[in-house]
Chains A and B, each alone.
Chain A
Amino acid sequence: MDTQWPRYMVFQQEGPDQPMVHNGTVHAPDAELAMLNARDVFVRRPEAVQLWVVLADVIFTQTQEELEKAEPVDQSTSQLVDYYVFGKFTQQAQCRHIGQVQASSPQVAVAAAIATFADKQPLWWWVFPASTVLKNESSESDPMFSAARYKTFKDQAEYPVITMMRELRAKANHKDTENTK
């Protein structure tokens, strides 16, 4: 059976003081290749210090609209596991890391997140068990992230086309004046 492989969500940290932010998905047969694909897809430009990958199916999400319709959850305290909590705060933004809660199910994790992070009111909640995430080892950071730094030709600032056009026009004007003399 031909397949494009499962989807993994990719989270990226752009600087040491920045939160992990969702940036898209990669298709991969397993977590290790998902990590490598995430690096190749999302670190073509040098803005990463850490990557996480997690199977897309594992992530539980609720928008404000869905929360209004949601049934109350059973707050059982059995079998608590750690959940990462992410939220989208502005219309244009991606989901970013808020913190961590313990819960017995994804629904409970959202309820716990709402209680724990009462000062934060994201438009969209995302939660997933911490155990489902593959993170790159910090010892791998250089091989993972340094290559993009030297590829300065991907930077539009390398192409001074506005100046080039200005010089071209100046040259043409100069020629015109010469010709009319």
Chain B
Amino acid sequence: MPFLPFVPLWREVMERTHQYALSGYLIALADDELILGHRDSEWTGHAPILEEDIAFANLALDEIGHAKLWYELAADLLGEDKTIYPDKLVYFRDAAQFRNIQLAELPKGDWAFSTLRQYLFDAFEALRLEALSQSSYTPLAEIATRIRTEELYHLRHSQAWVLRLVLGTEESGRRMQAALDALWPYARALAAPLPGEADLHAAGIVPSSAALFEHWSSEAIAFLQSANLSIPSSFIPHPSSLVDSRRVHSEYFPALIQDLQAVARLDPEAQW
């Protein structure tokens, strides 16, 4: 068989502008997963019971693993080395260059806050990944299918915990309501389009976040109400507009990024 130079098929079939747009989209998606995984990982060694140390570490492992897959696909699209580029994105962008939503970056709070945030994300991810697994761009669809399998387990886990905590004791119910009141305004940003989304959506490559959000909010509201939580009357307007909600970060974010990058930046030339 003659040796053929490696020219991935997609480069021929996907327009250059879409390649670039999709890389930006995927990096934002990865940032959500990375930052959520970062917060989840902070529970390791500090969870309410040994079994949950293990369970939450699993969530973190999966989320960070998903981030890595999306960064790698973005690297492919940009013609970058996917063994190096993801770490460059994670460790050598400044806080302002991250495109995750604030919902992911808020401090882990109490167990109610982390569990409920996880549920809100998992429920949204389940829908987004289902849509992405239908993407016209096959490499994206394949990864989405694999990630979705893991996210379905997350959703089962977080739903089980939301029910138990909301309906468990008076204190746990109160904590869950407080967590929902705090998280709900931030959840609005799930509706915000990801970078490049409009063109990519028109090309059948990615779903519309606004449409996913409609679906998600009716599902989440039904589930949370069935568990006896009251849904905050409306989404409080986000401090920033929806368009900017992936560009503007909370006051907690610089410290998170500093922590994340502290060792890697001790020696930017080193291979860690």
Which A residues lie at the B interface, using CB under 8 A? Answer: 4-5, 26-29, 32-33, 36-37, 39-41, 44, 140, 142-144, 146-147, 150-151
Contact = CB atoms under 8 A, between A and B. Distances in A.
B79 to A, nearest CB: 25
A40 B61 CA distance: 12
Given A29-B164, A143-B149, A143-B153, A151 B51 contact: no
A146 B150 contact: yes
A147 B62 contact: yes
Most A CB within 10 A of own CB, among B51, B58, B146: B51
B54 interface: yes
A136 to B, nearest CB: 11
B149 A28 contact: no
Given A29-B164, A33-B164, A40 B51 contact: yes
B210 interface: no
Given A27-B49, A27-B51, A40 B58 contact: yes
Contact of B65 (A32, A144, A146, A150): A150
Please tell me the size bucket of the interface on B: 10 to 19
B118 to A, nearest CB: 13
27 contacts: A4-B49, A5-B49, A26-B51, A27-B49, A27-B51, A28-B51, A29-B164, A32-B160, A36-B156, A36-B160, A37-B51, A37-B54, A37-B55, A39-B153, A40-B51, A41-B54, A44-B58, A142-B152, A143-B150, A143-B152, A143-B156, A146-B150, A147-B62, A147-B149, A147-B153, A150-B65, A150-B146
B156 to A, nearest CB: 7
Nearest to B53: A40
A39 B50 CA distance: 14
Given A40-B55, A142-B152, 7 more contacts: A32-B160, A33-B164, A41-B54, A44-B58, A146-B146, A146-B150, A150-B146
Contacts of A151: 61, 65
Nearest to A5: B49
B157 A36 contact: yes
A4 to B, nearest CB: 7
A29 B168 CA distance: 11
A151 B61 CA distance: 9
**Interface of A, helix, strand, loop or mixed by DSSP:** helix
A142 B149 contact: yes
Contacts of A27: 49-51
Contacts of B50: 27
Nearest to A147: B150
Contacts of B65: 150-151
A5 B50 CA distance: 11
Contacts of B62: 147
A89 to B, nearest CB: 30
The 4 lowest CB-CB distance pairs between A and B, nearest first, are: A143-B153, A143-B152, A37-B51, A40-B55
Contacts of A5: 49
Most B CB within 10 A of own CB, among A4, A26, A32, A143: A143
A54 to B, nearest CB: 16
B72 to A, nearest CB: 13
B55 A146 contact: no
Nearest to B153: A143
A33 B54 CA distance: 13
A71 to B, nearest CB: 38
Contacts of B150: 143, 146-147
A144 B153 contact: yes
B114 to A, nearest CB: 16
Contacts of B146: 146, 150
B160 A33 contact: yes
A29 B153 CA distance: 19
Contacts of A26: 51
Contacts of A40: 51, 54-55, 58
Contacts of A4: 49
Contacts of B149: 142-143, 146-147
Interface string B13-44: 00000000000000000000000000000000
Most B CB within 10 A of own CB, among A36, A140, A146: A36
